[in-house]
Structure 1
Amino acid sequence: MAKMIKSEVFDAANFLDNEEVIAEYLNIALESGDPNELLKALDTVARAKGMTKIAKETGLNRESLYKSLKEGKRPYFDTLQKIFSSLGIKFKVVPSVS
């Protein structure tokens, strides 16, 4: 009789447990140049921190937060700024190295 192998779906949210890891994860998404990658990464980080907590800290309701981070959406800059702030992350502009 064959043994059953149980596997779990990988979820990066399970590994985002400190600000340095979160910042690096978001930087990688930003460097991709794909806005959808950033939204997916923000969604993952928000799930890791707790959507309810992030919603409360940003002043957004959970439904609006989920919608803002949905692939294909174009959230307002102030919404992104609120989310980053609640995550303890700041935007930083640095010169591009050519």
Structure 2
Amino acid sequence: MIVQLREWDGSKYLETSEDIALYLAACFEEDGSDAAFIARVLDDISRSAGLRHVATEAGIDADALATALVRNGLPNFDAMLTLVNALGLQFRIEPTAA
């Protein structure tokens, strides 16, 4: 029996702001110190929300946002904040478990 696997695309499952918030929170909890991983997560989010729409809401150029999100495989923090704010989300900082 041959099992066919497909690459998982998180953007297809992010339908609401709550989905996006929970996905982002879970990914930060899983490995928030890996910038490349968070860059892929932000790419999923931007594709699910429609990058051009998000950029328009944020008042910035979509191509500039896409480039800033993943420059050299790492997200630009200013672009991350812009994307999160445009999606109506916020970062929350909590102490790590000891």
TM bin (shorter chain): 0.7 to 0.9
TM-score (ref. length: structure 2)? 0.78
Structure 1 residue 35: deviation in Å?
A: 0.7
Quote the sequence identity (%). 27
Question: Would you say the 8 A contact 1:58–1:83 is kept in 2?
Answer: yes
* Structure 2 SS opposite 1:82: helix
- Aligned ranges for residues 1-98 of structure 1 at < 5 Å? 10-31=8-29, 32=31, 33-70=33-70, 72-75=73-76, 77-98=77-98
> What runs of 5+ residues in structure 2 fail to find an aligned partner?
none
Per the alignment, do residues 69 and 79 of structure 1 end up closer, same or farther by CA in structure 2, a change over 3 Å counting? Answer: closer
Q: Give the RMSD, CA atoms, in angstroms.
A: 2.2
Specify the code of the residue in structure 1 equivalent to 2:87: L
TM-score (norm 1): 0.78
Find the counterpart in structure 2 of residue 4 from structure 1: none
Structure 1 gap segments, 5+ residues each: 1-6
Larger radius of gyration: 1
